[in-house]
Chain A
């Protein structure tokens, strides 16, 4: 080879290096949906990790036996039919034919049994079923049976609910993993495969269409119906910065943004290629949570004092800004505009705000200026906003607030402490509950009031628990509503937490994307892109 040949080869190689890789064709681009999720997909086990973002991604990969529709009615999904004995104790489920795992193996009844066993350990409703379970066994490849010691009318709701952790079905070998350990294989039977080799936690996760998925014939409706994927590939693009995500949406680098920042909505609205709509009509419920174990909030009068001065408008404007269409007062513990919404006993939240009554109640409770430790996560905007408002509010009625500005990681750990505030405990924390979780008592953590077993703050109110038991035993909507009214009246007195209002958030997508349906989580089936 001559020197000139070497040089020309080197030149050609250099020129080739400067060229871009082959561009993705327009057709292929249209078959790829690029989605900016609410948070980083840091792990991918929907039973081990209960974050919403894990649930939402899991919905693509794993299927469920049942799925709720937009009336909260559980519909058959993987199940073809079910039979229940007259006494309500024995349930026999038959799977649809043709269901396959992503590795090509058929879905068997024993896979579902193992999946339910793992889920029951971690889920609240699952734990109730587990306590009643006499037998859970596969009868043949497509049939399994559950025998209970007492009827559990909400069984199908438990199997089809959207609250995390969802009862996802996995192959038996994976489902046998300890529920407190992460799975290491991501094989489901849902409409998309997870591309594990492309997963970069904190940056991106991708999913490819599962060709052997057999959707149901019914039209899709939330978690139920035919989950038909109209794109070949879904790419989750993690965006840590909201302004960058907004710019990426405007420039067409991403197609759909799950949680745009309210401050950026006017900018996005000005772009004709972008559509904005409410993401989840069920919204979120703001929560000011008391620690019921220690003074002053171990006295119901101190909790009522705070409730008497909470002005939800102040809280909600701090959370969502000046867009009043995004929030509404919520004189209730149940999600507005849903069947169980009730304002029974809610005068403490509805009546004109009454600082004088609040001060009197505090005095009666024996409060005399002791510090009240308020843990406020500054890295989550809604919590930071609620903390600022509450700080001013409590000071206005003479409370001595110890405002601890910290991050969510610290709040997450410290809220578990049952010690008094001077030994690392706390008096008030803030959070929000997904409105979908507050439509009924089934998975409503904040409304449990069974003392030591209850969610952080550990309220103890047998009247609330009695109402909850009635809801689980209810056999029709009227009985359910009556139970919720009973719970509401009890909770308005004992204030397990004080609702700070109901708010919604927007989602945004480019106009070349269609089929997006609002709901408590992003549904990818039925979404297409041109």
Chain B
């Protein structure tokens, strides 16, 4: 097991190297010039060239890539072209809101979706099942920003229960932190509830038809025990997979949600950096995201061994 974990962690290195190469190359060939944006409208071509040189953008591809990799290997993600702040500092400023949003969203989605999926499977073919599936279709179909606006209008503007926008750090208290996250997590969580509920239902239906479930019933096990102890544990592997995928997808979903609710997270940092062609920030954030992707996949693989002891690495 430990050897497997070490192997997987070591395997992240070539993955990250490929990601780094792709990110750098894509940005190199992408149109747009931060020097022109910085120089402003009054600048002469010579001014733009001077800024480009000061940023090191006039050097050959391989030289720039080599320098960038060298810095990364030394733990230096570089400095933002526009803010003049270290990229690591900018990421540190933004990571808490994004992590908070992702954590609350996943907790909320799993705690709602799994019971919904279980109940839908249990009541297969009934009105409850259809209602759950109808919600799942709706959750998939309605864009996150539409749900976000509807929630903000209802619960913030009309009812005045929750704030419209912003983020309060956890250090300012649990409730102030949570009240800013409830609506974004609801909005972002809708699609994941739909996804996880559908997978849970399908997986449960497969398990509920197994012989050992019939045996459990014959032994007189209660419905709750059958559903949540016998069936759910055996149906958990696909659910864990989809939750893992969901965490990865949340990174993309957070971009929209953070914009709609004005949460200063990594998603907005990424979009702002792309629009301005702030290369060091884009490169740093994408590297971080890809690292998180790899780690989430590893965590999910390890979780399989908890749910199914037959799986061994």
Contact = CB atoms under 8 A, between A and B. Distances in A.
Contacts of A335: none
A202 B156 CA distance: 23
B45 A248 contact: no
Interface in B34-66: 36-45, 47-48, 50-51, 54
A43 B90 CA distance: 13
Contacts of A200: 93-94, 264
Contact of A21 (B38, B85, B165, B173): B173
A240 interface: yes
B31 A413 contact: yes
Interface in A446-493: 453, 455
A244 B180 CA distance: 13
Contacts, number: 147
Nearest to A424: B31
B42 A48 contact: no
Interface in A160-204: 164-165, 178, 180-182, 184, 200-204
B7 interface: no
A510 to B, nearest CB: 14
A412 B259 contact: no
A202 B268 contact: yes
Contacts of A408: 275
Interface in A364-392: 379
A165 B40 CA distance: 10
Given A180-B47, A410-B31, A416-B48, A248 B165 contact: yes
A40 B273 CA distance: 11
A181 B51 CA distance: 8
B70 interface: no
A200 B258 CA distance: 15
A170 to B, nearest CB: 16
B268 to A, nearest CB: 6
B209 interface: no
B42 A238 contact: no
Contact of A204 (B32, B149, B264): B264
A445 B174 contact: no
Nearest to A54: B40
A301 to B, nearest CB: 28
Contact of B166 (A17, A19, A253, A410): A253
A247 B84 contact: no
Contacts of B113: none
A489 B48 CA distance: 33
Contacts of B94: 200, 202-203
Nearest to B263: A203
B84 A241 contact: no
A29 interface: no
A202 B272 contact: yes
A409 interface: yes
B173 A248 contact: no
B165 A244 contact: yes
A379 B269 CA distance: 17
A81 interface: no
A507 interface: no
Interface string A80-99: 00000000000000000000
Interface residues of B, number: 55
The range of chain A's interface size is 35 or more
Given A244-B260, A247-B165, A50 B42 contact: yes
Contacts of B153: 247
A244 B152 CA distance: 8
Nearest to B97: A203
B125 to A, nearest CB: 41
B176 A250 contact: no
B83 interface: yes
A251 interface: yes
A181 B82 CA distance: 10
Nearest to B179: A20
B201 interface: no
B198 interface: no
B165 A239 contact: yes
A269 B106 CA distance: 39
A244 B93 CA distance: 22
B2 interface: no
Given A123-B42, A244-B259, 19 more contacts: A18-B173, A18-B175, A19-B173, A21-B172, A51-B40, A184-B84, A201-B80, A201-B83, A202-B272, A203-B93, A244-B164, A379-B275, A407-B275, A409-B32, A413-B33, A413-B36, A415-B36, A445-B41, A445-B42
- 9 closest A-B pairs by beta carbon, nearest first, are A203-B264, A50-B40, A413-B33, A409-B32, A21-B172, A247-B164, A410-B31, A182-B84, A42-B82
29 contacts: A17-B174, A18-B175, A20-B173, A21-B168, A21-B172, A21-B176, A42-B82, A43-B83, A51-B40, A123-B42, A180-B50, A200-B264, A201-B85, A202-B269, A202-B272, A238-B264, A240-B268, A241-B259, A248-B165, A248-B262, A250-B157, A251-B164, A253-B166, A407-B32, A407-B275, A409-B32, A412-B32, A412-B36, A413-B36
